[in-house]
Amino acid sequence: MSSGVAEKTQTTIGGIRRTFAPWTDPSAVHLIRYRNVTKRFGSFTAVDDLSLDIYEREFFALLGPSGCGKTTLMRMLAGFEEPTSGQITLAGEDLVGTPPYRRPVNMMFQSYALFPHMSVWDNIAFGLKQDGMGKPDIAVRVEEMLRLVKLEAFARRKPHQLSGGQRQRVALARSLAKRPKVLLLDEPLGALDKKLREETQFELMDIQMKLGMTFLIVTHDQEEAMTVADRIAVMDHGKLIQVAPPAVIYEQPASRYVAGFVGDVNLMAGRVESNQNGLVTVRTGSGGDSAGMRLAVAQEVQTGAGDEVWVAVRPEKVRVDREPPADTNVNCVSGEVWDIGYLGDLSVYHIELADGTRVKAVRPNLTRMVERPITWEDKVWVSWTPDAGVVLTR
């Protein structure tokens, strides 16, 4: 690739991926490009005039509720659906009209779609045989794939003799065997239980980095998307709502929809009082100036006095104290504990403020205590720092 494409490197600290952000680099060349793609099924518009670039070696997630068009978007890349209008290119080549069996793209199916009458070995070798690869080469590649997914001992088994997790890995190996330019993953972990799913997420990231391939994953599980992806596209009604790295999606959601879909959020409607020097002041409620709370948000945002906005605060960023905090008086309101959810590692507090709004706060349980200091119907103070909240204009 050109020198403009940043190399995906691993920092030594905790293995966190950094410095991989080709989407910020104007000279980077896209691998996949959707241009004004629309797909209609009868009168239903599944994908609506959508444009999107995906870069080489990216782990890209399409996230959204069922029926938002994310699967259709992926199936158009695989060739199972043709766009009603628009263009899809892969490495500069127009894909529209190319049948699925001639596209350098492979897909891992939600149902795994393993061929029940073939052994694990034959399933993995299937795609290679279609390419007319020589027998010795096929054997080498299949062995390599079996090693990659740690299934060397199961090569001769039939799919129905495997557990769900093993089948998932056979499906992965089969779709990787041809070294496609892009691997498509359609809800790949949906059938696994929670623990196995979390393990497999890390395995997927590991494999993707090892092979240096481009992965496109479709999921409705926001945690999964957050864990594996370099960038997430949040979709709704056939449109992209926001395309950004997980941390941006979470900390600076583009809209109330994104804020609510990814993670938990406290939303407070209000009007802007002032916006200067990177500090926005919002008066909540729709009444006059005296009513409602005054909230401060440290954020650069295009909005002026009088605009209708929403302040979003993540529950884990809300502090709960029994006494008014001495160190601050911004974003600080009194309320009453309405309900507590004890999750072991965390406790979730639902606090009713004087004006009736309920605020959710999540606090880690840092010490071993059966009796929590804050309990039902306690008078408490909730507060958050100006850089904890975010102003949403839509």
Partner 1 sequence: MRKGFSAFNVTALVLGFTFLYVPILLLVIYSFNASRLVTVWGGFSTEWYWKLLENDQLLDAAWVTLRVAFISASVATVLGTLAAIALTRYGRFTGRTLFSGMIYAPLVMPDVITGLSLLLLFVAVNFDRGFWTITLAHITFTMCFVCVVVQSRLVTFDRSLEEAALDLGCPPLRTFFVITLPIILPAVVSGWMLAFTLSLDDLVIASFTTGPGATTLPMRIYSQVRLGVTPEINAICTILIAIVTVVVVSASIVTKRQEIERQKAERLAAAGVME
- For partner 1, the binding residues (CB under 8 A) are 78-80, 99-102, 105-107, 109-111, 113, 115-117, 126-127, 130-131, 159-167, 174-175, 178, 191, 193, 196
Query: Whose Cβ is closer to partner 1: residue 21's or residue 113's?
Result: 113
| DSSP helix/strand/coil, 194 | helix
C-alpha torsion sign, points 248, 249, 254, 255: negative
Between 8 and 141, CB nearer to partner 1: 141
Q: Shortest Cβ distance from residue 222 to partner 1 (Å)? A: 24
- Smallest distance, Å, CB 164 to partner 1? 3
* Helix or strand holding residue 129 (H, E): helix 120-130
> 């990231």: which residue's tokens?
205
Alpha carbon dihedral 21, 46, 98, 56, in 10-degree steps, equals: 10
- State both tokens at 286: 């729709």
Closer residue to partner 1 in complex, CB, 155/353: 155
Q: Which amino acid is at 126?
A: F
Q: Least CB distance from residue 67 to partner 1, whole Å?
A: 19
Could you tell me the smallest distance in angstroms from the CB atom of residue 78 to partner 1? 6
Vertex 170 angle, CA 167 and 176, to 5°: 145
- In the bound complex, what is the minimum distance in angstroms from residue 131's beta carbon to partner 1? 6
Q: How far is the CB of 93 from partner 1 (least distance, A)?
A: 17
Report which residue type is found at 330: V
Residue 141 or 360: which CB sits closer to partner 1? 141
Q: Taking the complex as a whole, how short is the minimal distance between the CB of residue 255 and partner 1, in angstroms?
A: 34
CA nearest to 186, candidates 61, 31, 87, 54: 61
Are 338 and 348 a contacting pair, CB within 8 Å? no
The span from the CA of 26 to the CA of 163, in Å, is 46
Query: Residue 224 or residue 230: which is nearer to partner 1 going by CB?
Result: 224
Q: Judge contact between 221 and 261, C-beta under 8 A.
A: no
Q: Is 119 helix (H, G, I), strand (E, B) or coil?
A: coil
Q: Residue 97: left if φ>0, alpha if ψ -120 to 50, beta else—which one?
A: left
Closest CA to 107 of 132, 76, 85: 76
Is the Cβ of residue 178 or residue 271 nearer to partner 1 in the bound state? 178
Nearer Cβ to partner 1, position 108 or 388?
A: 108
Instruction: Rank residues 168 and 275 by Cβ distance to partner 1 and give the closer one.
Output: 168
Residue 162 near residue 149 (C-beta atoms within 8 A):
no
Tokens representing residue 35 in the block: 């241009």
In terms of CB distance, is 106 or 275 closer to partner 1? Answer: 106
The Cα–Cα gap between 170 and 188 comes to 12
Which of 57/197 has CB closer to partner 1?
A: 197
Shortest reach from residue 116's CB to partner 1, in Å: 6
CA distances from 113 to 24, 108, 188 (A): 37, 8, 11
> Minimum distance from CB of 119 to partner 1 (Å)?
13
Cβ 103 to partner 1 shortest distance, Å: 8
**Contact, 311 vs 262, CB < 8 A?**
no
Q: How far apart are CB 171 and partner 1 at their closest, in Å?
A: 8
Of 99 and 288, the one with the shorter C-beta distance to partner 1 is 99
127-131 contacts, C-beta under 8 A, 24 or more apart: 127/174, 127/177, 127/178, 128/177, 128/178, 130/101, 131/178
